[in-house]
Chain A
Amino acid sequence: MTLWLLVRRSLRQHLLSTVVTALSLALAGGLLMSVWVVKRQARATFTGQTGAWDAVLGARGAKLQLVLNALFHLEASPGNVAFSDFQTLSSNRAVALAIPIAVGDNYLGYRIVGTQTNLFTEAEASPGRRFRLASGGRWFEDGYREAVVGSFVAQRLGLKPGDTFKPYHGLNFNPKEQHDDEYVVTGILEPSNTPTDRVLWIPLAGLQNMSGHAAATASDVSAVLVKLRSPVAGQQLDLLYNKQGDRLTFAWPLGTVLAQLFDKMGWFDQVLELVAYLVALVAAGSVLASLYNSLSARRRDLAILRALGARRMTVFASIILEAVSVAALGMVLAWVLYGVILQTVAAVIRAQTGVVLDPWAWDPVLVIAPAGMVLLGALAGVLPALKAYSNPVAENLVPES
């Protein structure tokens, strides 16, 4: 009780340095937790998005680009696939389901993807979860200028069944490149927390035959999403398209392909982690400096406590406890900062990719990092505590003149 009283009073007496030090520790702890959780969740969530599909067939090119374009609706399409190639693949006995998609247009920056209605009726939005329409809508019909809109796009653009829109040419929004074709929204998808939420879906033929598109490639598709009957089938098709063939790319297995993305971003994670560790070191240094400096002003108080019977270890412990208290206060603020950072990052990632991170999901780092920071704070308190421990009593009982 006495120790806690001593610590509380000291923290209050040095309120400014207490708050500044706690804030710097909070910054370090918040950054560490955020970097770690974003890295882990992003990897798990991005990889999880591919769960409904086993492979993607596309034009010859980089597998990662193909997967990002076809499943995450990012990047440009590496090229076209002839419709006959789609038909050949879909008739292969190793393939359980093959759905063609075509890209090339947007509406106010959100991608328009042409596909077949069996994407919604036979495929899954995410593992174990079918596509579902919000009430009052229906799927589009092939051959009509109709659209089913992802929940995120509908929310952002305020679209609802019955609304109409005219697509813009290209994957990036350019107001001068609007098509004449007008589409009617027939339904809004329920949120699936996948990249499909960020897409306006129209019939495949609609995108292929959009006014201004090249007639020569009108029957081509951008990629084919593939569900296989067995993993062995993946090896067979990998051999067929990637090793024996040279026109198309069969991106399989998707987890391995996506791992390349995170391997490429690894340096960025490392830089962020390094920054967080540096901030942690600076924060620990500020704990040390503020406590050490405050001791000069507290030499007499410490001597008085010793004269009242406080043992050296009591004085030592009070300084360590003070450092731990500042660190603990910093970690409470770190959790708040973590929440703010994760909410912001999750919102940005969702807006850019449709992938949803859960800022409140449990992760061991949420305990390990704060515990580590508190330990670091305690270590930073050792030097000032030793100084307090060796504070001579008799000569410091006399006020400085």
Chain B
Amino acid sequence: MALLEIENLRKAFRTPDGRIAPVVEVPRFCLDAGDQVALSGPSGTGKTTFLNLIAGILAADSGRITLDGHELNAMSEADRDRLRAGSIGYIFQTFNLLQGFTCLENVLLGMSFGPGADRDRARSLLERVGLGDRLDYHPRQLSTGQQQRVAVARALANRPKLVLADEPTGNLDPANAAQALALIRELCTEEGSALLLVSHDPTVLSAFPRRESLSALNQASRKGIAP
């Protein structure tokens, strides 16, 4: 059985002029445990919405998302939160680190709502991403590359079955982007996590043996709506 199965997924938003515009319309998409897949698509094609639907942050209008045997649409919001906390790691383009917390605390928060805080694991993950000497630093005291490495450590903290990465190298220079991408893929392999990475950068996409185009998957007519 696939780790992630999507069938007839549909999500639409109301535009400022009152129209209902479909943003995601995916008839079928599957991901096996440990798979690493890159999803491409130009800006505004609903890539982030697609990831948010998989993460259970957004609820689909129709269709079915099954993650690790759990059908998201049939779950309450609290159950989706619980599933996300225990089974999903999320890496954002803008890192989304909590500025008031240290690196170590940010990583601890990545597991606090799921399996529970484990300081040793948080410390070893930060050491693994090369920030063992920055445990008590706050995000603003780090470079952008270092911040993304903290975000990677946080996403892997809860030993997720699936890591969602939304343009994780979009804010990094080419050298840092290559390092970050390699780190994400290595860590996912080490932890046995599947990876679904969204990017529109051809260099990033070319690193993945399996690539999907959301434009191809998405049957919805796009009107340039960015949710």
Binding site for B on A (CB under 8 A): 1-2, 5, 9-10, 12-13, 300-301, 304-314, 393-395, 397-399
Q: Residue of B at shortest CB range from A309?
A: B85
A393 to chain B, nearest CB (A): 5
Interface residue from A308, A312, A397, A399 paired with B85 (Cβ < 8 Å) = A308
User: A309-B86, A311-B81 given as contacts; is B57 within 8 A of A394 (CB)?
Assistant: yes
A234 to chain B, nearest CB (A): 71
Structural contact, A308 and B77, CB atoms closer than 8 A: no
Interface residue from B58, B101, B114, B117 paired with A9 (Cβ < 8 Å) = B101
Binding site for A on B (CB under 8 A): 48-49, 52, 55, 57-58, 77-78, 81-82, 84-86, 88, 90, 92, 94, 96-101, 105, 108-110, 112-114, 117, 154, 158, 227
B157 to chain A, nearest CB (A): 9
CA distance A399 to B222 in the complex (A): 24
Closest 9 CB pairs of A and B: A309-B85, A309-B113, A2-B112, A9-B100, A311-B81, A13-B100, A304-B96, A309-B84, A393-B57
Contacts of B77 in A (CB 8 A): 311-312
CA distance A77 to B106 in the complex (A): 76
Contacts of B110 in A (CB 8 A): 308
Contacts of B154 in A (CB 8 A): 308
Q: Residue of B at shortest CB range from A8?
A: B100
Structural contact, A308 and B52, CB atoms closer than 8 A: no
CA distance A300 to B94 in the complex (A): 12
Contacts of B57 in A (CB 8 A): 306-307, 393-394, 397
Structural contact, B109 and A397, CB atoms closer than 8 A: no
Q: List 18 A-B contacts (CB under 8 A).
A: A1-B112, A2-B112, A5-B109, A9-B98, A9-B100, A301-B100, A304-B96, A306-B81, A307-B90, A308-B109, A308-B110, A308-B113, A309-B113, A309-B114, A311-B78, A312-B77, A395-B227, A398-B94
CA distance A398 to B77 in the complex (A): 21
Q: Residue of B at shortest CB range from A6?
A: B109
User: A2-B109, A5-B105, A394-B227 given as contacts; is B82 within 8 A of A309 (CB)?
Assistant: yes
Question: How many A-B contacts at CB < 8 Å in the complex?
Answer: 80
Contacts of A12 in B (CB 8 A): 100
Contacts of B88 in A (CB 8 A): 309
A149 to chain B, nearest CB (A): 64
Structural contact, B101 and A397, CB atoms closer than 8 A: no
B93 to chain A, nearest CB (A): 9
Q: Residue of B at shortest CB range from A310?
A: B113
B110 to chain A, nearest CB (A): 6
User: A307-B57, A394-B52 given as contacts; is B100 within 8 A of A2 (CB)?
Assistant: no
Contacts of A307 in B (CB 8 A): 55, 57, 84, 90, 92, 96
A305 to chain B, nearest CB (A): 7
- With A1-B112, A308-B154, A309-B158 known, 12 other A-B pairs at CB within 8 A are A5-B112, A300-B96, A301-B98, A301-B99, A305-B98, A306-B57, A307-B84, A307-B92, A310-B81, A311-B77, A393-B57, A399-B94
CA distance A395 to B90 in the complex (A): 15
Structural contact, A312 and B78, CB atoms closer than 8 A: yes
Q: Residue of B at shortest CB range from A304?
A: B96
Contacts of A398 in B (CB 8 A): 94
CA distance A312 to B113 in the complex (A): 12
Structural contact, B82 and A304, CB atoms closer than 8 A: no
A250 to chain B, nearest CB (A): 73
A356 to chain B, nearest CB (A): 50
A303 to chain B, nearest CB (A): 8
B159 to chain A, nearest CB (A): 13
CA distance A308 to B92 in the complex (A): 11
B91 to chain A, nearest CB (A): 11
User: A5-B105, A12-B100 given as contacts; is B113 within 8 A of A394 (CB)?
Assistant: no
Contacts of B100 in A (CB 8 A): 9-10, 12-13, 301
Contacts of B78 in A (CB 8 A): 311-313
Interface residue from A305, A308, A394 paired with B58 (Cβ < 8 Å) = A394
Structural contact, A397 and B96, CB atoms closer than 8 A: yes
Contacts of B112 in A (CB 8 A): 1-2, 5, 308
Contacts of A1 in B (CB 8 A): 112, 117
CA distance A113 to B154 in the complex (A): 82
Q: Residue of A at shortest CB range from B155?
A: A308
CA distance A10 to B98 in the complex (A): 11
Interface residue from A13, A300, A305, A394 paired with B109 (Cβ < 8 Å) = A305
A355 to chain B, nearest CB (A): 52
CA distance A399 to B97 in the complex (A): 11
CA distance A314 to B84 in the complex (A): 15
Contacts of A306 in B (CB 8 A): 57, 81
Q: Residue of A at shortest CB range from B157?
A: A308
A312 to chain B, nearest CB (A): 7
- Most chain B beta-carbon neighbours within 10 Å: one of A5, A305, A307, A314: A307
CA distance A395 to B57 in the complex (A): 10
B154 to chain A, nearest CB (A): 8
Q: Residue of A at shortest CB range from B113?
A: A309
Contacts of A394 in B (CB 8 A): 48-49, 52, 57-58, 227
CA distance A394 to B98 in the complex (A): 16
Contacts of A399 in B (CB 8 A): 94
Contacts of A305 in B (CB 8 A): 98, 109, 113
Q: Residue of B at shortest CB range from A12?
A: B100
CA distance A376 to B55 in the complex (A): 38
A316 to chain B, nearest CB (A): 12
B16 to chain A, nearest CB (A): 14
CA distance A310 to B85 in the complex (A): 7
CA distance A305 to B90 in the complex (A): 11
User: A10-B100, A313-B78, A394-B52 given as contacts; is B94 within 8 A of A308 (CB)?
Assistant: no
